[in-house]
Chain A
């Protein structure tokens, strides 16, 4: 697998994937990576989700709730989707459907 090509391709769609994960329920950073891996997205560089999460937070697509851990230490940040985030996710799903079917078509010929 050409990892450079994949990371270039992922750049635009990782945000949509994260939105989809967060839409399923409150979740923290490391859990997102585990879920992505479970869906086969093992090529995502783990740290790369944090700049995206910062941007999504600034764009009010997600919000953060801090929860203290039973083991002590600083509280853990859980992400939750907002109304605006849900709208963005719908948009992403539509766009992805169009894009993926068009490219599939193109490659099949």
Chain B
């Protein structure tokens, strides 16, 4: 017997809520599958989900979260990995444009902004998981999160241009070395988390621009920098869009097989 839509949604939200609260992945899986077992049996006897978790899913999620420990080991693994991955991603972009000259402002600012964004993003997902918002309202909040993330960067770059003087400048050999190190770090992280995203993301966002700037293409197309950036970003977003669609399809298939 398959679970009702409400129960499936509740279990998905519970998983996100507990992850975003920094709980251990195995313990989360364990309690979610135990509840799934319970819900299946209860529903087969005609009970609905309110009968089991009460009227407030968020309250119930919080009760479970309180009994699970914060996973410091995973946090110590994933937080530095997220920061390193994020920095490698930013630095790779600058190095590919041969623009590595950082001010103190950026040297301090990037790690701080990275930490802030991780915290805000996790907080947002936890917030959403505890509420049964309509999809439109959810998307609005997530779009807001995206704008906040991009805004934080633009602010940092703007402030740095205005107030920061470069303290860290690399020559061309140095830039190539930086490109190599960043690429290795990103590939390493992709292998560790078993996801293509750390490779696909920079390839999609930086790749098209780099290729469009190849001299023979530039002679042929005769585009200026603005045009190249514009077309490059469009191609990049298209690649990311396809990537996410494929990922979602794969995930759905996997779920179908397991249930």
Chain A residues engaging chain B, CB cutoff 8 angstroms: 28-30, 33, 45-48, 50-51, 54-55, 58, 74, 76-77
Q: Take A46-B51, A46-B52, A47-B54 as given contacts and tell me if A55 and B67 are in contact as well, using a CB distance cutoff of 8 Å.
A: yes
Q: Take A47-B53, A47-B54, A50-B31 as given contacts and tell me if A30 and B64 are in contact as well, using a CB distance cutoff of 8 Å.
A: no
Chain B residues engaging chain A, CB cutoff 8 angstroms: 30-31, 33-38, 41-42, 47, 51-54, 60, 63-64, 66-68
For chain B, what secondary structure do more than half of its interface residues adopt (helix, strand, loop), or is it mixed? helix
Which residues from chain B contact A51 at a C-beta distance below 8 Å?
63-64, 66-67
| CB-contact partner of A45 in B30, B33, B52, B64, under 8 A | B52
Which residues from chain B contact A58 at a C-beta distance below 8 Å?
67
For chain A, what secondary structure do more than half of its interface residues adopt (helix, strand, loop), or is it mixed? helix
CA distance A74 to B31 in the complex (A): 12
Closest to B29 in A: A74
Report B10 CB to chain A, min CB distance, Å: 10
Which of B34, B36, B60: most chain A Cβ within 10 A?
B34
User: Can you list 15 A-B pairs with a CB-CB distance of less than 8 A?
Assistant: A29-B38, A30-B38, A45-B51, A45-B54, A46-B53, A47-B52, A47-B53, A47-B60, A50-B64, A51-B64, A51-B67, A55-B67, A74-B36, A76-B37, A77-B34
